[in-house]
Amino acid sequence: MSNLLSVMNDGYEIPSIGYGTWMVPDAESEALVREALEAGYRHIDTAMIYENEVGVGKGIARSGLPREEIFVTTKLWITDMNDPQGALTTSLRKLQLDYVDLYLIHWPAPKVNLYAKAWDALIELREKGLVRSIGVSNFNPEHLDALKGSGVTPCINQVEAHPSFPNTEVITANTAQGILTECYCPLGRGKYLTSPVLSGIASHLDATEAQVVLAWHLSKGYIPLPKSATPARIKENLDVQKIELADEDIAAIDSLATGRKICADPADFNG
């Protein structure tokens, strides 16, 4: 299956759906990453803090696919913001890679106040060829604005977004600066998939509720990163690229917004 691609503001392409690996234990991640790659994913999202880069790296290495066919993202954790090159070197060793396609600052942590300095370091890592594209995660508009002095706009801002928490203010700021939005928790961790609105659209399209939600992300130009440890769902979540939602379906899904986050609370990490 060929993957839809989005184009980032540095000209590189990124597959429009990624396989998320948070909460995938290291010991299981090799098999699940291989399962995802066999199902057709070409975009894998991990992070140092997920403690599964070794298993993810084995899954990539043993997939038999050429390195350049797989888009790999990892992330710089808050406690490493003083030494991004050291952190990336460790991640690359664990992943068995010479470079990652995308390196993200995981959280801005404004009270630590190192994210602008870390951003300058990511620009240097890109110049050294250790990362191809650079971006951020969990950045609010004011954090994005604080990077403007660097002269380099992030390619990606990875944030929580799903129908019940559409995160409109942040995504509007991303779009205004030419930053693509990656959505974590794209299925709302599976908590709202029983909505009658989703079920109605799903039965009409002969799809599942999860596929309807992922098609909603694609209709908005977002890049969802669904995680599943279940082989049938891994396949199902990629098999959405041909689903076209009608305008009235998109409007009905938009109406499910409650404004409540269900994933990480920024207060936990932004201190």
State which residue has the least CB distance to ligand NAP: 20
If you ran DSSP here, which 8-state letter would residue 165 be given? Answer: B
Residues 199-228 that bind ligand NAP (CB under 6 A): 208, 210, 225-228
Question: How far apart (Å, rounded) are the C-alpha atoms in residues 139 and 116?
Answer: 12
CA nearest neighbour of 106 among 184, 26, 222, 188 = 184
What is the pattern of x (binds ligand NAP, CB under 6 A) and - over residues 64-103? ----------------------------------------
- The residue from 95, 187, 207, 223 that contacts ligand NAP (CB under 6 A) is 187
Does residue number 262 form part of the binding site for ligand NAP (CB under 6 A)? no
Shortest separation between residue 211's beta carbon and ligand NAP, angstroms: 7
Does residue number 51 form part of the binding site for ligand NAP (CB under 6 A)? no
Does residue number 188 form part of the binding site for ligand NAP (CB under 6 A)? yes
Whether the CB-CB separation of 14 and 223 falls below 8 Å is answered with yes
88 or 248, CB closer to ligand NAP? 88
75 or 149, CB closer to ligand NAP? 75
Active site residues per annotation: 50
Whether the CB-CB separation of 5 and 16 falls below 8 Å is answered with yes
Residues 99-128 that bind ligand NAP (CB under 6 A): 106
Question: How far apart (Å, rounded) are the C-alpha atoms in residues 58 and 233?
Answer: 22
Two structure tokens written together for 166: 């559409």
Question: How far apart (Å, rounded) are the C-alpha atoms in residues 237 and 227?
Answer: 9
91 or 237, CB closer to ligand NAP? 237
What is the pattern of x (binds ligand NAP, CB under 6 A) and - over residues 10-29? ----------xxx-------
Does residue number 237 form part of the binding site for ligand NAP (CB under 6 A)? yes
Beta-sheet pairing, 223-224 with 180-184: parallel
φ/ψ of residue 220, rounded to 5: -90, -5
Two structure tokens written together for 67: 């390195």
Identify the burial level of 240 via C-beta atoms within 10 angstroms of its C-beta, where 0-12 means exposed, 13-18 middle and 19 or more buried.
Answer: buried
Q: Residue 20 in 3-state DSSP?
A: strand
Does residue number 135 form part of the binding site for ligand NAP (CB under 6 A)? no
Residues engaged in binding ligand NAP (CB under 6 A): 20-22, 45, 106, 137-138, 158, 184-190, 193, 208, 210, 225-230, 233, 236-237, 263-264
